[in-house]
Structure 1
Amino acid sequence: MKYDSFFARSFSKHEQKKLGFGAFVSCFIIAATFCILFKPEFRHFKVVNVKVTLRGGPQILAIKEEVSNKPKKTYVEIKEEKTICNVTHPRADICEMNGDIRIHGNSSTIYFVSTDKLSAEMNNSWSIRPYARKGDNRAMDSVTNLTVKKVYSNISQEIPNCSRNYTVPAIVFSTKGYAGNHFHDFTDVLIPLFQTSRYFNNEVQFLITNMRSWWINKYKPVLQRLSKYEIIDIDKEKEVLCFPSMIIGLKANKEFSINTSESPYSMSDFTKFLKNTYSLKRKSAVKLKKNADQGRKVKPRLLIISRSKTRRFTNVDEIATMARNIGFDVVVEETGENLAKVAKKVNSFDVLMGVHGAGLTNMVFLPEKAVVIQIVGLGMEWVSKVDFGIPALDMNLKYLDYKISVNESSLIQQYPVEHHVLKDPPGNLISPKGWVKYRKIYLDQQDVKIDVNRFRGTLWKAFELLQS
């Protein structure tokens, strides 16, 4: 009672309320400070922001919650290293590495030295055949199997010492498989090599396994434009070669062409590159209307590719005569092996015609807007379209196909009219197991005798395409 009496005499009611409220806030702050000091983990959850309003009117204690710093991590953060090998692409396996890379040719082993012990232990070995026809066992069986190992830098006994150090990137690939076949030279090696190496602007070292000198000599102008360094036969290399970066395998994503959704380059880029490599003069096919308007009479040139073994024209002279009557300047011949001569010869024509086969590969040397006529044998619709039809359009060429009838195929002489070979040729899907049988019948046993009256319309169409 004395305390209450003293308090009442010394302070007004309003002042008493203020003092009581202040005491409450002081106690609250002291308690909060005590908790923070002796319970450190509280600091990582929420901070109470206390705001006291002492102006006239109702007295308000405003409490505002704010999120403090992020909670302290209670785990070790692992730096994830990018996977260096992609073995999921349907066409080719490929490894890309940057850092300390060492290749020991004799052992067919490539070491990627990593400073990340955990990463090296988790995913440290791949087997790669550096040839772009994955899934074709017949082709891949002859290609050297390379072992790519990611090793931890502190395990010195596993890592061979460098004998020679290079300052440029390296690309490792094979010239085995189907290399040597003109079509496969391009679709399996040269086009993928262009995609893989062009970025380096010839500052790249080629390391070749299964190297064949005659193949290198045939394509030397192309190889020298892609790399200014002497090619290394890695199978014969006894020393350990070290590089700052390396690509093992070649980037391939489309038959005899380039899928622009997966590459910064196009098939048109590749053909322009070839024309520059072989100094080909003609950039575009003849424009008949333009010449006629200027009073010049020009005959478009037609090259008919003859074949000596399979898928031959059995009446090529008759075809050539009919083409001349339409107005073409016609040449019939096989293209030959000297690529520089072949390139210049093909570049001088406006129309290239042939049955599905390696000779049509030379369309890469045609001037833009030239016409490709593919004679599609019985049962060859799908393979003809994929191998040459679609690529021709990708090369900025004009494309026509002529699908022969049963009576124009030599298979009519080998099988009864009702036989499934004639009546039910294969469609789009040919299994790997079925390919050998398919090839034997439709590619190796079939010749063509063109019905010139039926074919005349196709040649006229080609003539019209050259008008402008």
Structure 2
Amino acid sequence: MYNTILLVRSFRKQDRKRLGYGALAASLLITLSFFTVFNPYLGSLPLLSFRLSTWDDQKLFVVNDSSSCLQMVKANMMVYSLFIFEDAEIIPINDGSSSQEAVARDAEMVRNNKKLINDDGSSRKTVNGTIIEDSLIVNDTGNSQEIATTADADAAAMDEKTELRCNIMGRSEFCEMKGDIRIDGNSSTAFIVSSETDILTAENTSWSIRPYARKEALGEKDFARKWSVKPVTSRLDIARCTRNHSVPAILFSAGGYSGNFFHAFTDIIIPLYSTARTFNREVQFLITDRKPWWIAKFKTLFEALSRYEIIDIDDRHDVHCFHSLTIGLKGRNNKELSIDSSTSPYSMKDFRKFLRSWYSLKKITAAKIRDGDKRKPRLLIIPRKRSRSFTNVGEIAQLAESLSYQVIVAEPGPDVSGFAKIINSCDVLMGVHGAGLTNIVFLPENAILIQVVPFGKVEWASRISFEDPAKDMNIRYLDYKIKVEESTLIQQYPADHEVLRDPSAIGKQGWVAFRSIYLDKQNVTLDVERFRPTLVRALQLLHQ
């Protein structure tokens, strides 16, 4: 002890001051090291961990922060992408963060093969979360020193993420939703249920959808049944499930113009293929405006796209519940008999291959005729029984046979599969503008369509209905525009009548007036000698 006292006394006053400063610096260094090492375990205050990204991408994020120091983190979140405006998205977000969330951020939480990804806030473009498919999903990673059990993590994973996306800007209106979905046929409403509410889930918020892919016609009375899509909270008195389903569902209308073969394909069958094909038949079809005869007519295609029996969703006795629903059909653009490649991974080439497979159509490519070849190309003539029919189909057939065609005259009927096989066996299809020409979807590759265009400025309808689609299907196209002398309208109106003299004037009276004359009252008597070069040209194409 004496030595120690002596040592202390030997320090001068200045030396003792320096020693004190050194001790203070060492204490600060130790404190800093402590916070650095233990910072991940200290937890973050919700107020301090909250960040809102400010990058400019024309998206508005509306955030409700419901964090609490006494709450466990919740995994169920409402995510909305409302494509109501062309240039803006509104994505409300519920932040259920909690300072008592345990180290479950280090565990993988999976439900239905979907991962909730935790973000520690290092990304500038997140709000304590991550953006998945343009939807921001919040999952706060604030931690306390309390350790969560496996059961707690599993319970959090069981809460589903609820999503709702509606598109009402295109030619086809549709909504896609995931979560607790209840479909009530009695009120024509699809409810999407969540345990929490936010700005866009007020009781008076809903979207009205007619699930038929021809928006310009949706204003017509009784065209297609109107359905409502309504977000609700679990606290509301909503319909209870009577039938639960484990596969996704697609709800669409068989109303509208579905009785017309052209509209059946362009408005329903092709968009349905585009919407459903990705599910690989594991999808439930829900039909509103059901027509039993129509469903029977296209039974092969429905069975090709879904392994489940179609449900009449207008039946008012059941409340059907799903975890995923698409109401309306996708993939529809401004072109007829076409698939919008910007919204669908499929093309018309894929669709035609699908038809060949399910209708067992054997002919893939049209005949290629060589000089000296004894094979005759097959020509199918659709005569039509009512309007725009050929009055001299026998003469047309004789002309074609004289040019070495094998001629078939046939009219489509309720047996789609049988007629598809006849069409597929042919190299050339010919007919007056009308729904029967929709059968080009069954023609082999490089086949030829000859469209006879009626008198009366019908070129525009002929082009958008069949000329443009034929080219997209790898079908070669020819047309023959008849003269007024080949129209039976000359037998109904005097030569100087406006109908014959100025079809444009009739067109200005509206579509109904135009259609009633030039499409409903007109038949065709083909001038076979004038038509001969068109058939010769088709032969030349088959030689190429």
TM over 0.5: yes
Partner of 2:244: 165
Partner of 2:307: 228
Shift of 1:225: 0.7
Q: How far apart are the structure 2 equivalents of 1:462 and 1:123?
A: 61
Match of 2:192 among 112, 125, 135: 112
Partner of 2:57: none
Asked which structure has the greater CA Rg, the reply is 1
Q: How far apart are the structure 2 equivalents of 1:257 and 1:360?
A: 15
Shift of 1:430: 6.4
Shift of 1:211: 1.1
Check the 8 A contact 2:428/2:448 in 1, yes or no: yes
Shift of 1:231: 0.8
SS in structure 2 of the partner of residue 235 of structure 1: coil
Percent identity, aligned pairs only, is 53
Shift of 1:439: 0.9
Partner of 1:419: 497
Check the 8 A contact 2:249/2:283 in 1, yes or no: yes
Match of 1:271 among 352, 373, 380: 352
Q: Between Structure 1 and Structure 2, how many residues are aligned?
A: 395
The one-character-per-residue Cα deviations of 1:13-64 (angstroms, maximum 9, x if unpaired) are xxxxxxxxxxxxx9xxxxxxxxxxxxxxxxxxxxxxxxxxxxxxxxxxxxxx
Q: How far apart are the structure 1 equivalents of 2:49 and 2:349?
A: 56
Shift of 1:135: 2.3
Q: How does 1:58-457 map to 2 (within 5 A)?
A: 77-78=63-64, 81-83=80-82, 84=164, 86=166, 88-118=168-198, 119-121=200-202, 124-137=205-218, 141-153=222-234, 155-157=235-237, 159-251=238-330, 252-253=332-333, 254-289=335-370, 292=371, 296-378=373-455, 379-426=457-504, 434-457=510-533
The residue type equivalent to 2:487 in the other structure is: S
Check the 8 A contact 2:203/2:232 in 1, yes or no: no
Check the 8 A contact 1:139/1:178 in 2, yes or no: no
Q: How far apart are the structure 2 equivalents of 1:77 and 1:148?
A: 22
The residue type equivalent to 1:99 in the other structure is: G
Check the 8 A contact 2:81/2:165 in 1, yes or no: no
Check the 8 A contact 2:218/2:224 in 1, yes or no: no
Partner of 2:134: none
The TM-score, its normalising length taken from structure 1, stands at 0.78
Q: How far apart are the structure 2 equivalents of 1:302 and 1:72?
A: 73
Check the 8 A contact 1:123/1:150 in 2, yes or no: no
Q: How far apart are the structure 1 equivalents of 2:504 and 2:341?
A: 30
Q: How far apart are the structure 1 equivalents of 2:403 and 2:425?
A: 19
The one-character-per-residue Cα deviations of 1:80-115 (angstroms, maximum 9, x if unpaired) are 622245453342211111111110112211101134
Shift of 1:72: 8.5
SS in structure 2 of the partner of residue 383 of structure 1: helix
Q: Decide whether aligned partners of structure 1 residues 71 and 236 sit closer, same or farther in structure 2, where only a CA change above 3 A counts.
A: closer
The residue type equivalent to 2:347 in the other structure is: S
Structure with the larger RCO, 1 or 2 (CA within 8 Å, 6+ apart): 1
Check the 8 A contact 1:126/1:147 in 2, yes or no: yes
Check the 8 A contact 2:241/2:321 in 1, yes or no: yes
What RMSD, in angstroms, separates the aligned Cα atoms of the two structures? 2.7
SS in structure 2 of the partner of residue 127 of structure 1: strand
Q: How far apart are the structure 2 equivalents of 1:73 and 1:328?
A: 76
The TM-score, its normalising length taken from structure 2, stands at 0.68
The residue type equivalent to 1:219 in the other structure is: F
SS in structure 1 of the partner of residue 314 of structure 2: helix
Check the 8 A contact 2:245/2:320 in 1, yes or no: yes
Q: Unmatched 5+ residue regions in structure 2? A: 1-20, 22-46, 53-61, 65-77, 83-163
Partner of 1:57: none
SS in structure 2 of the partner of residue 330 of structure 1: strand
Q: Unmatched 5+ residue regions in structure 1? A: 1-25, 27-69
Partner of 2:542: 466
Structure with more helix by fraction: 1
